[in-house]
Structure 1
Amino acid sequence: MRFDRAALRDVVAIHDDQGVLSFYVTADPREEAAVRPAWRIRFGNQLADLRRQISADGDRPRRTAVLARLEQLETEFALLLNPTESGLGRALFAPVGSDEVWTFSFQLPVADQVVLESTAYVRPLVNTVETAPPAGLVLVSRDGLRMIDYRYGMAEEAGRTDFEINTEDWRRMRGPAPSGLAQQTVAARDKFERRVDENLARLLRAAGPGVTEQAANRGWTAIALIGDVQLTEIVAAELTGDVIQIDAVVDALPPSKIAEYAEPQLLAARTRFATALADGAKDAALSGGRGAVGLADTLNALNDSRVAQLLLAESREWSGSRTADGRLCPPDQIPQGESAHEHVQEDRMGERMIERALDIDAEVIVLDRQAAETLADFDGVAAILRW
């Protein structure tokens, strides 16, 4: 199944009172030489642990249902663990009480996990895909523009614009010139080249709206212009948003190699973007503006549906509780008029925050270690607010 943000919302919405099974595995090609690759052994061990835990569950109907569902999924597990299938990172979600199955694969590693909860466990999925959100790689040359769509570790051709400069009607002096005309010949040649460059610049500027349209249609969060800097600067002037210029000529490479070449610059751009958001959220919160920092204030904003962008440190985990009506609370904080025994303890509050954010149509931004340093004194969590 092709992954996009709509698919993420579909996965977050999966709920089953008996439980939803979530499986993550990374098919590491470096381990393929082994008779039984380590990643397959890890998956088998985690699955065996889950079966033991379920077998000890005192709720007999639930125990029976989960074990039966695991048996039904054997065919899906075979595909998930098949080294010839595409995708480095793979994910599978299956509610216990139905036959539905959601599977995704990416050219990105995921944290190997097997989880049974009442909802799909999506934080490893969010952490993975947010490291490589949709971006456009635009190769700029004198021959035209070649566009590549790069998302979630996968790169594919997205179209091209060819340039043709018609010079048939232009007079250009050819062949050896008499010595007295040498200076005139040089001037004519320079004039010809200037006309070529002027027309090329016009074609590059005219190509800008097409790149912008592709970016909007494909949801590109960034655009990397790759080529001679004198050419990329012309196109960059016609674009808005996060535009990266890479001075290199890699036109002949396949999409995957071009993406590999551009990835460090894209990663640096994402870190800059996330750091700016974190700084903005902190400054807004501390000045009484539309920002929240720290677990308590961010949870309150999520509960009130005020969050536009939720910022979470990739490596942090949070705990807390959930009230009977679904409000999220930080540890040891009980709303007035309620008692602790009415609350459900939440050891994976990050998961609950992501669910709530997507439910209110907020964007989730995962902060890498560098970007998260801004929020080190604020629990590694913040939000840009709608009001």
Structure 2
Amino acid sequence: MENFQLIKQKVKKFVRGNEQNFRRGIVLFATADEDVWFADRVQLRLKTEFYWQETPELEQLKELNEKYPKSGIILVQQNEIKVIDSYLNEIEETVSYELDINTDDWRQKLGPRKANTQMGPGATNLQVDNFQARYQANKQRWFKSIAPKLDKRAKDQKWDKIYVVGEVDSSYELEEQMNKPVDKVIHKNMLDHEESKVLDEVFG
């Protein structure tokens, strides 16, 4: 009972300290002597469970890990790619690449995403037609040049699953050029959608 009261106070303190930035659930393992203290907020609905025993009860955590594994979600457009690293339905990191159509090089974009000036709303019909012609002629080579970076990221980040989301033509071509197997392709252009909406689409 003494040990339980000690842990209870620590748990209450953790909950109070996180009230302002609460998510949907908490996963917590603890011992009174603090040899074990694991407490994390997750963006997932959890079944409320409480166990007081010698060994941790991991079944629900294993189920979540199976449903929301360490994943790479690759959003692709003709000349732009965004990669979302995700685990347990949380966004760990995002990286964006843009193709410089003057040099045919993919460049990592830093800072907030801006509208694509090369093919933005102000582009004329002639510019759009010219780009479409170049895209059809070069898409295989363009996606082949970015695929090794994505394969390396998949290895470095230890992705268990890979999802490609984009228009049919671009997503199919990117999948073809990657060495790592793609688990699912979703034919939707979601590059400009909120990342949480993308996770809902992939894992929903």
Tell me the TM-score normalised to structure 2 length.
0.75
- The 2-side partners of 1:79 and 1:85 are apart by 12
Aligned to 1:197: 136
- The 1-side partners of 2:44 and 2:97 are apart by 30
Aligned to 1:245: 185
- The 2-side partners of 1:200 and 1:88 are apart by 42
Offset at residue 226 of structure 1 (A): 1.1
Offset at residue 263 of structure 1 (A): 1.7
Aligned to 1:89: 25
Q: 1:229 aligns with which of 157, 168, 173?
A: 168
CA 1:131–1:80: 2 relative to 1, 3 Å: farther
Q: Could you report, residue by residue, the CA deviation over 1:204-245 in whole angstroms, capped at 9, with x for unpaired residues?
A: 121111111111111212211111111111110122324311
Unaligned runs of 5+ in 1: 1-66, 168-189, 265-387
Aligned to 1:208: 147
Q: CA RMSD in A?
A: 2.6
Offset at residue 95 of structure 1 (A): 2.0
Offset at residue 192 of structure 1 (A): 7.7
**Structure-to-structure mapping, 1:121-160, within 5 angstroms:** 121-160=57-96
Secondary structure, in 3 states, of the residue corresponding to 2:172?
Answer: helix
1 or 2, which has the higher helix percentage?
Answer: 1
Q: Could you report, residue by residue, the CA deviation over 1:344-380 in whole angstroms, capped at 9, with x for unpaired residues?
A: xxxxxxxxxxxxxxxxxxxxxxxxxxxxxxxxxxxxx
CA 1:96–1:86: 2 relative to 1, 3 Å: same
Offset at residue 259 of structure 1 (A): 0.9
Secondary structure, in 3 states, of the residue corresponding to 2:53?
Answer: strand
Aligned residues: 178
- Residues 143 and 177 of structure 2 are in contact (CA less than 8 Å); yes or no, is this contact kept in structure 1? no
Aligned to 1:76: 11
Offset at residue 198 of structure 1 (A): 2.3
**Structure of larger gyration radius:** 1
- The 1-side partners of 2:192 and 2:130 are apart by 31
Q: Could you report, residue by residue, the CA deviation over 1:138-187 in whole angstroms, capped at 9, with x for unpaired residues?
A: 111123210011210112443122101128xxxxxxxxxxxxxxxxxxxx
- The 1-side partners of 2:132 and 2:177 are apart by 23
The sequence identity of aligned pairs, in percent, is 20
**Structure-to-structure mapping, 1:92-107, within 5 angstroms:** 92-98=28-34, 100-107=36-43
- Residues 110 and 125 of structure 1 are in contact (CA less than 8 Å); yes or no, is this contact kept in structure 2? no
Tell me the TM-score normalised to structure 1 length.
0.42
Identify which range, 234-243 or 140-149, moves more after superposition. Answer: 234-243
Q: Which amino acid aligns with 1:68?
A: E
- The 2-side partners of 1:192 and 1:225 are apart by 23
- The 1-side partners of 2:4 and 2:30 are apart by 9
The 4+ residue runs of structure 1 with deviation greater than 6 A are: none
